[in-house]
Chains A and B, each alone.
Chain A
């Protein structure tokens, strides 16, 4: 494979990885804002405020895990595909 083609393919993978990461981060941020709203209302009800905060904590942890997993998986897939492109690039020329 031509050096320029390898460079472009690596660039395309990096760009897609950046885009997925940025989209996951922004979606996470917006999701947090919306998810906070019902908890904010329920927390005003004195007797259930403590359990509501506990449930919100669990919810937030689950969200962190899900969005974090998306970002980690995205980085791993990006690295694997980039390595595969590098191998193809250094292979015998067609």
Chain B
């Protein structure tokens, strides 16, 4: 049996301070990392404490969140990870990371952590499923594009509210910063500079799947790729839902394969909703 060592730390609920630090990392995490600041979060895998199985389910949170975004509100111990462990026999592992870093960098870090995780897992891993919420979906996809031993074990990547086509709020912020920077006024330039303090991770969200600069790579043939999107209103065709999607991410185009739209479920709720879970379960073959 391999020694799990430091590959996975046991789960404990994040404190309000942990959540504050995650939010801080979202805003200026690249600066914290560059300066070697102790507030920068090092990527770590978090275990749920159940018996190990040959199937791993890796949960990757989004910008400024922690792994508790996958917990169902008011239902202690219920999360996508815990439900998949109960229903389909997956060993859930959550990831906490500095969301202010470039998405591609977090992808490389995730690939390294998963290498360690697979090597340290007490039994041979036969299958890996990655579930990413928002930015977490882009990080998971980025990791899968790398040539790692574990990547061949990936059978499914589920993206929940992931801005593949770029997040509109970030695009708007980038435009505002560019306009302010072009105005010949020291105050406007100052405001532009303040807007440009946002982290590389946030800036990458505006680029979506093209964050690496090379456009979207061909998807791994051995893994299925599914996307869940939410809308603010019960009618996905409503102008509000068309304009704002789930509040932060618009519904991707119909050319997206394996897309499922959840009317009335907003961006954050996509990470902890019973209807979304039933769809994930069906996608993973347990329906």
CB contacts (< 8 Å) of A10 on chain B: these are 38
Interface of B is mostly: helix
- For A3, the closest partner residue in chain B by CB is B38
CB contacts (< 8 Å) of B37 on chain A: these are 11, 14-15
Tell me the bound Cα distance from A10 to B190 in angstroms: 28
Contact, CB under 8 Å: B35 / A14: yes
Contact, CB under 8 Å: B186 / A8: no
> What is the minimal beta-carbon distance from A43 to any residue of chain B, in angstroms?
19
CB contacts (< 8 Å) of A12 on chain B: these are 39
> What is the minimal beta-carbon distance from B24 to any residue of chain A, in angstroms?
8
The answer, among B31, B38, B39, B186, for a CB contact under 8 Å with A29, is: B186
Q: Does B40 contact A (CB under 8 A)?
A: yes
Contact, CB under 8 Å: A26 / B190: yes
- For B197, the closest partner residue in chain A by CB is A22
Could you say which of A7, A11, A12 has the most chain B C-beta atoms within 10 Å of its C-beta?
Answer: A11
CB contacts (< 8 Å) of B35 on chain A: these are 14, 18
CB contacts (< 8 Å) of B31 on chain A: these are 18
Chain A-chain B contacts (Cβ-Cβ < 8 Å), number: 32
Tell me the bound Cα distance from A34 to B186 in angstroms: 8
CB contacts (< 8 Å) of A26 on chain B: these are 190, 193
Segment 143-179 of B: residues with Cβ below 8 Å from A? none
Q: Does B21 contact A (CB under 8 A)?
A: yes
Segment 1-38 of A: residues with Cβ below 8 Å from B? 6-12, 14-15, 18, 26, 29-30, 33-34
Tell me the bound Cα distance from A8 to B39 in angstroms: 5
The answer, among B21, B39, B190, for a CB contact under 8 Å with A30, is: B190
> What is the minimal beta-carbon distance from A39 to any residue of chain B, in angstroms?
15
CB contacts (< 8 Å) of A9 on chain B: these are 38
- For A14, the closest partner residue in chain B by CB is B37
CB contacts (< 8 Å) of A14 on chain B: these are 35, 37-38
> What is the minimal beta-carbon distance from B111 to any residue of chain A, in angstroms?
26
Binding site for A on B (CB under 8 A): 17, 21, 24, 28, 31-32, 35, 37-40, 186-187, 190, 193
Sampled A-B contacts (26; CB under 8 Å): A6-B38, A7-B38, A8-B21, A8-B38, A8-B39, A9-B38, A10-B38, A11-B32, A11-B37, A11-B38, A11-B39, A11-B40, A12-B39, A14-B35, A14-B38, A15-B32, A15-B37, A18-B31, A18-B35, A26-B193, A29-B186, A30-B186, A30-B187, A30-B190, A33-B186, A34-B186
